[in-house]
Amino acid sequence: MKWTVGINKRLNQDARVHHARTHVFTSFQDHEATVYRDGAAGPRDFHALDHPYAGLILQVIDADGPEGRAELLDRLRTRELPRRLSGSPAAMVTAFRPTPLPGDRMTYVKQVEGVDTRLTLLWFLEQDPRTCWPEHFADLDSLASGTARVELVAPFIPTVPGTDRYVDELR
């Protein structure tokens, strides 16, 4: 983590940070679990960011407390995610928990919320989320039943590095 703060400071000095944005969700995360739709077939989670997936869904869920997060993770890993992945365009879901940002972080980035209660899920999609959203993902808030609440569900499509593709769609 320390080297990341150093890189951010260097990028700031070189005027390579876009400051006209709002940090909605900036954090370091530790891997908790991965659930695969097809078992041992297909890319593994450590290749997920290199694999040419057609889309990604970021989901943030907050449990009512630390014990609630452990229970939520167990329920998601053993029941909910395998059920939701079956027959869906999502090849896998990875679950992470946030860790506190270092004290020397950039001043415009606030400290991470939900360090003891939050889970971050990444849904790796084999289809563009715009084509499969209503049928498979519009109800992802239902995963937080009982003692948890969904804070964010955000679909993404890949950009093409080094191009301005999709820049006109940014807000």
Domain at 147, CATH number: 3.30.70
More confident residue, 112 or 24: 112
Examine residue 169 and state whether it is found in any structural domain, yes or no.
no
The domain tally of the chain equals 1
153 beta partners: 59
pLDDT score of 81 more than 80: yes
Q: What is the CA radius of gyration of the chain?
A: 17
Q: At residue 103, does pLDDT exceed 80? A: no
- 28 lies in a domain? yes
| Of 4-8, 93-97, 111-115, 154-158, the least confident | 4-8
Q: What integer pLDDT is reported at residue 97 of this predicted model?
A: 95
Whether 76 is in a domain gets the answer: yes
Let me know if residue 106 belongs to a domain.
Answer: yes
Q: What is the pTM of this model?
A: 0.84
Q: For the residues 62-80, what does the mean pLDDT come to? A: 95
DSSP 8-state symbol, 52: -
CB-based contact 61:72 (threshold 8 Å): yes
- Residue 10 is assigned to a structural domain of this protein: no
Q: How far apart are CA 59 and CA 120, in angstroms?
A: 6
In this structure, are residues 81 and 140 in contact, taking their beta carbons and an 8 Å threshold?
no
Whether 3 has a pLDDT exceeding 60, the answer reads no
In this structure, the strands spanning 118-125 and 148-156 are unpaired
Torsion of CA 36, 40, 44, 48, to 10 degrees: -50
Residue 168: inside a domain? no
Q: Tell me if 107 is assigned to some domain.
A: yes
Structural domain for 84, as ranges: 22-158
Quick check: is 138 in a domain? yes
Residues 30-59 pLDDT 10s: 999 999 999 988 889 999 999 999 999 999
